[in-house]
Chains A and B, each alone.
Chain A
């Protein structure tokens, strides 16, 4: 899973397999981080803590 684990090899199967895994995890992580940060920003900038509208 990581290059520091003893059975890791810098070969095509490891690069393709683990590349796809970390690519998917990065997208999910980035998406989630964006949502959390934007929500914190939106909450902080909400005028006087007014009640929000339902979407």
Chain B
């Protein structure tokens, strides 16, 4: 079915079918919105957080979506600054995924601060010695950059494109996109890093504390590195899921393989650095504070040594090896296994750097602190997923997101 609002030369499902799926995902969205208003109306007593858990499921979700949304800044860096023109076919989608991830992160933060009406205090009364202030600034400004990067894609909707001013605005934004992309890279480097830095500077939490370079603990660099490595994997994953759902080829296989190759090498070098960091922490940093490695992984119901092996080996080294080898990238099943494992790996990393940090006891007479999220926390964490699906549905239907779609599906 083709209507003037749908990009020229591509086919989309009927309005009825589209509305039906929109209603299904919209119901999940409304459930999350209801929980969100409960949290805003009744306060943080709606959560499972307590004195031991000032950070919990929301902050994990926040750190994870920011890491996964790293595909936007790193793909932008590769496309506009390094000059990898092959990635132009996927950069639109990377930007949309990044936009969803960062708007979700801001929404989650608006819930987590407990007093959203005072959210502007962090900007107005900025504590310049706080890494979280740096995160808040860079996150907000980078979201503005992502909105500017998203804008020309929206303006390319056939109906909007007919308006001369909007047509020229879209064209002119494209012309100077490298400037915005470079600013995005600068901002992303610092907020991705500072999110890791927050954990690394916790000298009272030996599980998280790391030494580092000047004011930056090693976790600062590791977080930026891992986001740049895994962000493109998430872009590949979401694009492949979109292809499966729509039953169409949207991006050339060569583009996936190129992105996977770059991601693989980033992941491999990150894993080498991460393993060295873990070894140094286990052998030097933690013992200097009176802890052994196994103090952090035994006598508790959840955090066994398995989680370290899962993060570093199964969801770290293994996908890195798959993605850097030609055979791994050329085999679709292996490629997707590598991509999925890498995404799970960064989710585990953010989980342990938020939740395990809070769970590990600090004194010999303390026990492990366990935490169970409430349904309100779960619903508000699922809310961004429903919102993301709806935005992707709308973007795919009404915007020319994939420039190669027409060519790749001309025979069907």
Contact = CB atoms under 8 A, between A and B. Distances in A.
Interface in A20-52: 20-21, 24-25, 27-28, 31-32, 34-36, 38-40, 42-43, 46, 49, 52
B180 A38 contact: no
Given A17-B134, A31-B176, A24 B183 contact: yes
A45 B100 CA distance: 37
Interface stretch (B105-113, B164-172, B299-307, B389-397): B164-172
Contacts of B240: none
Nearest to A29: B144
Given A21-B141, A38-B172, A52 B167 contact: yes
A27 B183 contact: yes
Contact of A46 (B137, B164, B186): B164
Contacts of A27: 179, 183
Contacts of B145: 28
Nearest to A55: B171
Interface residues of A, number: 29
B183 A38 contact: no
B187 A34 contact: no
Contacts of A25: 141
B42 interface: no
Contact of A28 (B128, B148, B169, B172): B148
Interface string B40-82: 0000000000000000000000000000000000000000000
Contacts of B133: 17
Nearest to A30: B179
Interface size class on chain B is: 20 to 34
Contacts of B173: 35
B104 to A, nearest CB: 21
Nearest to B175: A35
Nearest to A36: B169
A10 B169 CA distance: 40
Contacts of A16: 128
B148 A39 contact: no
A4 to B, nearest CB: 11
B231 to A, nearest CB: 20
B161 interface: yes
A13 B137 contact: no
A35 B134 contact: no
Contacts of A31: 148, 176, 179-180
A39 B174 contact: no
B17 interface: no
Nearest to A50: B164
A34 B148 contact: no
A46 to B, nearest CB: 6
A24 B186 contact: yes
B244 interface: no
Determine which residue in B169, B179, B180 has the highest number of CB atoms from chain A within 10 A of its CB, and name it.
B169
Contact of A35 (B124, B161, B176, B187): B176
B125 interface: yes
Contacts of B187: 24
Interface of A: 1, 5, 7, 13-14, 16-18, 20-21, 24-25, 27-28, 31-32, 34-36, 38-40, 42-43, 46, 49, 52, 54-55
27 contacts: A1-B123, A1-B124, A5-B124, A14-B128, A17-B128, A17-B133, A18-B126, A21-B141, A24-B183, A28-B141, A28-B148, A28-B180, A31-B180, A32-B148, A34-B176, A35-B173, A35-B176, A38-B172, A39-B169, A39-B172, A43-B165, A43-B168, A46-B164, A52-B164, A54-B161, A55-B171, A55-B174
Interface of B: 123-126, 128-129, 133-134, 137, 141, 144-145, 148, 161, 164-165, 167-169, 171-176, 179-180, 183, 186-187, 190
- List the 9 shortest-distance A-B pairs measured between CB atoms, nearest first: A39-B168, A17-B128, A39-B169, A42-B168, A35-B172, A13-B128, A43-B165, A43-B164, A38-B172
